[in-house]
Every structure is written in structure tokens, then in C-alpha cells.
Amino acid sequence: MAAETTAAPTVPRRQLGRHLRALRNQARLTTKLAAQALEWSEPKLWRIETGQTTLRSLDVEAMCRVYGATAEVTQGLMVLARETRAAGWWHPHDEVIPDWLDLYLGLEEAASRLQRYDPELVPGLLQTAAYAREVIMADQPDAGAEEVTRRMQARLARQALLVRVTAPLSAEVLLGEAALCRPVGGPQVMAGQLNELADAALLPNVTIRVVPLRAGLHRGVLAGPFVILRFPVNGDGQESEPPVVYVPGFTGALYLEKPAEIQRYHEVYTGIVAAALDEPASRAMIRQAALEYAP
């Protein structure tokens, strides 16, 4: 295995390590037994599973063989292993990584807190089934009804993160007023979505604030949508993993992890917060918008 380099991106390494650890656990192998089968040391296996080193695709193939992984899973993880050795990380959806190996969803599930700015649409984490279906059909106009339903159900399943019993995800959402004004799926769909959004804002771990159009040219207008993901704190008070900024795009998604990049987006987020309404005023605006769609 090649030595780790500081230029190698950590996001795909973390995700690869999580998947390999899950496969080992499914195979009911301890790290000691797995290391013996692979003729590796336990520290080497631990570094791989915690995303602290790059990994060759041939090594991934060997691990998947020992763990009894399917050919599809093995191929997907081998592709991901090649990305751990890249100088930068641009994740093109539907071309490089299979749908079942979505990096953002893995990071979101592992995160303890997210801060996101969505100027145009209600984010998937807070969408109703009817709203999600409309968004998916607009994004995938050639998808059949079964595929749309599958994607919609997968999107809704993510919402369990907000209400899980152990350490529910803390979500801070800044929503552009345009998301309240843009009809998606008709008045009944919008009324249902906005009322659900206002209800979600009552959860103790969810904060939703609206950025009104009258706020003018704030920093979010220039930055576009993004998510800052932060991870659980260890016993020593340090985050278990460094923060990641996720920037969605039409054909792919950018993952940023350099301290300067994280700081830049933190400053932008703070600037957007300053332009947003407070929580009570935001809920009132959302409720009023819902009434206007379906009095």
C-alpha cells in the first residue's frame, strides 16, 4: 500500500473505511481475524477503516473477497479506492460512483450537526412525499414511476436522522423566501409542504430561518446552496472527523475540507444568518405562505 499523502482527499477515504468496516462486521470478523486472513497487521486495518490512509483498488478487492462482498459492491468500492488517491475530489453523480454509494448520504448520517443554505427549494431532509416526488420528476423527467417512487422513499428515509432516539441530527437550515413562493406540484402540495416545514421547525434539534427577498444582496446570493457538516465530539473534546462543506451541482458535487475553505463558508453562513428572519418570524412567514396556497 502506498503511503498516505497530505494532498489526498479525506472524504472518499472516510466513506471507503465506513463501507469496509460494515462489510467486515457483516461477515462477523474481528479486526484480528480479518487482518490474519489478509496477512496484514491490525494497525493497518484500523487505519484503513478510520480513513487515515489511501488504498489501492487491488487491496479493496482482496478485502471484499475475504468479507464475501458481491461483485457490484466490490466494483463500487474499487472505484472509490481510486478516488482516495486523487489530488482533488469532484464527485460526478451517476457516472463514477454507483447510486447506492452516495458519499453525501454517508457523511450526513455520520454527522452530528449540519448547517445548510437552500435559496430555491426545500431541502430533501425536510421534504414531504408529494413535494419530493415533484422535485425528482423535474430532475429525472425520463424516470419511470417505480424509479421515482424508489428515489422518493430513499429521500424520506433520511428524515429519520432528525428523530432518531440516540443523538438526533442537529439541523440548522437557512431557507430562501423563493422556496416559499415557487409553486411545486400545485397549491395543495405546497400548502402541505410548508405546514410540515413549520412543524419541523418546532423540533428541539431543528432550526429553520427564512432569508427574505428584501434582505437584498447578501453573501448567500453569491455563494449559492451549500451544507456544512460537523461530526461528533470525542471524549477529549475534539471532533471525531474534520468538518466538510458539500456544494451541490447539476452534474456533480464538490466536497471541500481544507481549513481555509471551511472557514470561508462558515463566514458566509454567518453573513446569511445576519440577513435572515428570527425563528418566530420565519415560522409565521411559512404559515402565512401555506395559507395563501390553500386558505
pLDDT digits over 146-184, tens only?
Answer: 989 988 888 898 899 999 988 999 999 999 999 999 999
Burial label for 270, CB within 10 Å (0-12, 13-18, 19+), is exposed
- How high is the pLDDT of residue 287? 97
3-state secondary structure of 37: helix
- How many C-beta atoms surround the C-beta of residue 55 within 10 A? 26
| Cα Dmax for the chain | 68
Residues 74-114 pLDDT 10s = 888 888 787 766 544 444 434 445 555 577 887 888 889 99
By mean pLDDT, which of 3-7, 28-32, 47-51, 72-76 is the weakest?
Answer: 3-7
The ranges of the chain annotated as CATH 1.10.260.40 are 10-87
The ranges of the chain annotated as CATH 3.30.870 are 102-293
Class of CATH domain 102-293 = alpha beta
**Predicted model pTM:** 0.76
Q: Which DSSP state fits 2? A: P
Taking the CA of residue 94 as centre, how many other CA atoms within 13 Å lie in the half-sphere pointing to its CB?
Answer: 5
C-beta separation of 107 from 11 below 8 A: yes
| CA dihedral angle for residue 197, residue 277, residue 221, residue 102, rounded to 10 degrees | -30
The Cα 51–Cα 47 span in angstroms is: 6
Class of CATH domain 10-87 = mainly alpha
